[in-house]
Amino acid sequence: MKIGVLAVQGDFAAHGRVLQQLGVPWCEVRHPEQLSEISGLILPGGESTTMLKFLFEEGFLEPLQDFARRGGAFFGTCAGAILLAREVTNPRQPSLGLLDISVQRNAYGRQINSFVDRALSSAFGPPPLEMVYIRAPIITRVGPGVDVLAEHGGHPVLVEQGRCLAATFHPELTEDRRVHQRFLQLVEAASAR
Amino acid sequence: MIMDDLFRVKVGLAEMLKGGVIMDVTNAEQARIAEEAGAVAVMALERVPADIRAQGGVARMASIKRIREIMEAVSIPVMAKVRIGHFVEAQILQELGVDFIDESEVLTPADEEHHIDKHRFKVPFVCGARDLGEALRRIGEGAAMIRTKGEAGSGNIVEAVRHLRSVMDAIRRLTVLPKEELMAESKRLGAPYELVQWVAEHGRLPVPNFAAGGIATPADAALCMQLGAEAVFVGSGIFKSEDPARRARAIVKAVTYYNDPKMLLEASEELGEPMRGLDVSRLAKEELLQTRGW
């Protein structure tokens, strides 16, 4: 099992460090052909507009849909969650549509409204998850097949649908590994089938 | 070192900008061109450094109207510059809601001895540095990101390379020094002892380390990345060139593929004329921007 981290820009190295710590083989992904070597793809935090343009220009869109159809698993944090969503607003922009959620970008405001929160997740139980929100999006709608695993202020912040996991915060910027471990379980379950 | 929640979200934004290009823009139209080209953030300015250099006079924080116009034009983070030590300009920009403040040597310094106490602000700061001591002094004051100073507005990469090598060499040196030598080294660097200890232990700066000052081509940007920078600022290099949109896209691509010569070749083709550069060694001492800051 090998995990890819989309390495256009953003905090892909932070995800890499987590995978390293967990002893999982991983690689930085910058070319669509690399998707055939991995079982799960992490879309990191960063600027979703920059990553989106890259995915268009470097011909990633079809290969990513193929990867999903072949049973590939996805984990998006912040910008990554925006890329995975079905619908994106503020402003409206295209997305991969692999996860049935609607997302509003920069929904808490600008950087001065970024914050750290600690909250329990139904997926893990105590202790609370430490959640770092940086110019974070808000999930404004979840489709019927989507499980909400954690919330903040009445909005879902950690959601899962099939082999797709997304957080509006940054577990890669904390020492808590439970969210990444959950993603690895999704990847393993998918590979076992 | 201080690693409270506030500092973590400040450094967190800097983390999100890694591997990206931050572009200087002077109006909403340029900001949209930058965003369209894949910039991860824009720096809102009254004039780009090459023009500040050419026109002289006192360079201050940009007008609020101009910064606001740029903030309304794009969805990516917007940065703006304040004069070194001018904490009231910083209070005003924080109130305006800019996402990052650059306490910058490109503007005319307001204080020739002291920088801003950046821990007192909710908004994160980036500061320029020419060597490790300067970088750690700024981090000690609360900077959440360090960039090389280079020589802004020169279109000449030589100073950014010098500063990047200087910082990286000094970091490598710290990692091999015996512990008992760290205090004397901290004295020599003029840097806080606890930060010197941190760098010696981790082998990197405690905050992201970006390159700036003189980047004019995709190759310049990739050179900085290969030398250890984690992202790049491009000031005059884009909007002083013949075809800004194309050059902006090319530099973005070069930063993503900084270690891939085949892609760098693609990024370097048919770009039009770059900005005209300056021979930094021929600049008079008082014309240098990099010597501002203490």
Contact residues for B135 (Cβ-Cβ < 8 A; gap 6+): B129, B146, B167, B191, B205, B209
Residues B271-289 have a mean pLDDT of: 86
What is the spatial distance between Cα B245 and Cα A1, in angstroms, rounded to a whole number?
41
Residues B65, B71: Cα–Cα separation, whole Å: 10
- B chain contacts of residue A176, beta-carbon cutoff 8 Å: none
What's the length of chain A?
A: 193
Residue A141, phi then psi, degrees to nearest 5:
-155, 140
Q: Which of A58, A49, A51, A4 is nearest to A31 (CA)?
A: A58
Interface of B with A (CB under 8 A): 5, 8-9, 12-13, 15-20, 35-36, 38-41, 75-77, 94, 97-100, 122-124, 231, 252, 255-257, 260
Q: 3-state DSSP helix/strand/coil percent for chain A, to nearest 5? A: 30, 30, 35
Place of tokens 């004039």: B47
What is the arithmetic mean of pLDDT over A97-103?
98
Residue of B nearest to A53 (CA): B38
| Distance (Å, whole) CA B224 – CA B154 | 16
Query: Does A130 have pLDDT greater than 80?
Result: yes
Q: Is B158 exposed, middle or buried (0-12, 13-18, 19+ CB in 10 A)?
A: middle
B241 has pLDDT over 70: yes
Contact list, B36 vs chain A (CB under 8 Å): 53
Residues of A with CB below 8 A from B76's CB?
A: 47, 49-50
**pLDDT computed for residue B274 by the predictor:** 87
Distance CA B16, CA B192 (A): 27
**Which residue has tokens 């202790």?**
A127
Residue B214: what residue type?
G
Q: In 3D, which of B231, B233, B232, B251 has the Cα closest to residue B241?
A: B251
Which pLDDT band, with edges at 50, 70 and 90, does B278 fall under?
Answer: confident
Considering only CB atoms, B8 lies closest to which of A8, A47, A116, namely A116
- For B122-150, what is the mean pLDDT? 98
In this model, does residue A181 exceed pLDDT 70? yes
A15 is catalytic: no
Q: What residues of B are in contact with residue A132 (Cβ under 8 Å)? A: 8-9, 12
pLDDT, residue A193, reads 63
Single out the catalytic residue among A152, A160, A172, A180: A172
Closest-CA distance, A185 to chain B, in angstroms, reads: 26
Say if the Cβ atoms of B99 and A105 lie within 8 Å.
Answer: no
What is the three-class DSSP state of B273? coil
Task: Quote the pTM value.
Answer: 0.96
pLDDT in tens, A9-41: 999 999 999 999 999 999 999 999 999 999 999
Q: Clarify whether B122 is annotated catalytic.
A: no
Q: Please state the rounded mean pLDDT for residues A39-52.
A: 98
CB atoms A47 and B76 under 8 Å: yes
**A12 neighbourhood in chain B, CB within 8 Å:** 18-19
State the pLDDT at residue B277.
85
**Nearest residue on chain A to B6, alpha-carbon basis:** A115
Using the Cβ of A116 and the Cβ atoms of chain B, whether some distance falls under 8 Å is answered with yes
**pLDDT computed for residue A99 by the predictor:** 98
Q: Cβ of B95: how many Cβ atoms within 10 Å? A: 11
For chain B, how many residues are written?
294
Helix axes B193-202, B132-140, angle to 10 degrees: 120
Distance CA B222, CA B215 (A): 10
Q: Which of A6, A17, A50 to mutate to test the interface with B (most CBs of B within 10 A)?
A: A50
Is the CB of A106 inside 8 Å of chain B's CB atoms? Answer: yes
Distance from CA of A145 to the nearest CA of B (A): 30
pLDDT at residue A100 in the model: 98
> Cα–Cα distance between A51 and A6 in angstroms, integer?
9
pLDDT tens for B201-222 read 999 999 999 999 999 999 999 9
pLDDT surpassing 80 at residue A192: no
| Burial annotation B171-187 (CB, 10 A radius, 16+ → b, else e) | beebeeeeeeebeebbe
pLDDT at B42 over 90: yes
Residue A85: pLDDT over 80? yes
Residue A44, classified by CB atoms within 10 Å of its CB into exposed (0-12), middle (13-18) or buried (19+), is buried
* Interatomic CA distance for residues A143 and A136, integer angstroms: 20
Residue in B8, B13, B35 closest to A111 by CB? B13
What pLDDT digit, counting tens, does each position of B1-24 carry?
778 999 999 999 999 999 999 999
Q: Establish if A152 touches chain B: CB-CB under 8 angstroms.
A: no
Q: How far apart are CA B235 and CA B96, in angstroms?
A: 22
- Residue A113 near residue B3, CB atoms below 8 Å: no
- pLDDT tens for residues A101-122? 999 999 999 999 999 999 999 9
Distance from C-alpha of A116 to C-alpha of B6, rounded to nearest angstrom: 8
The predicted-structure confidence for B43-101, as pLDDT tens digits, reads as follows 999 998 889 888 888 999 999 999 999 999 999 999 999 999 999 999 999 999 999 99
Average pLDDT of the residues of chain B: 95
For residue B101, which of B66, B135, B126 has the smallest C-alpha distance? Answer: B126
pLDDT at res. B79: 98
Query: If you search the block for the tokens 């908004």, which residue do you land on?
Result: B123
Mean pLDDT of B142-149: 97
C-alpha B105/C-alpha B103 separation (Å) is 7
Residues of chain A neighbouring B94 (CB-CB closer than 8 A): 112
- In chain B, whose CA is at the least distance from the CA of A55? B38
Query: What are B211's strand-pairing partners?
Result: B232
Are A172 and A130 spatial neighbours (Cβ–Cβ below 8 Å)? no
Q: How far is A88 from chain B (nearest CA, A)?
A: 13
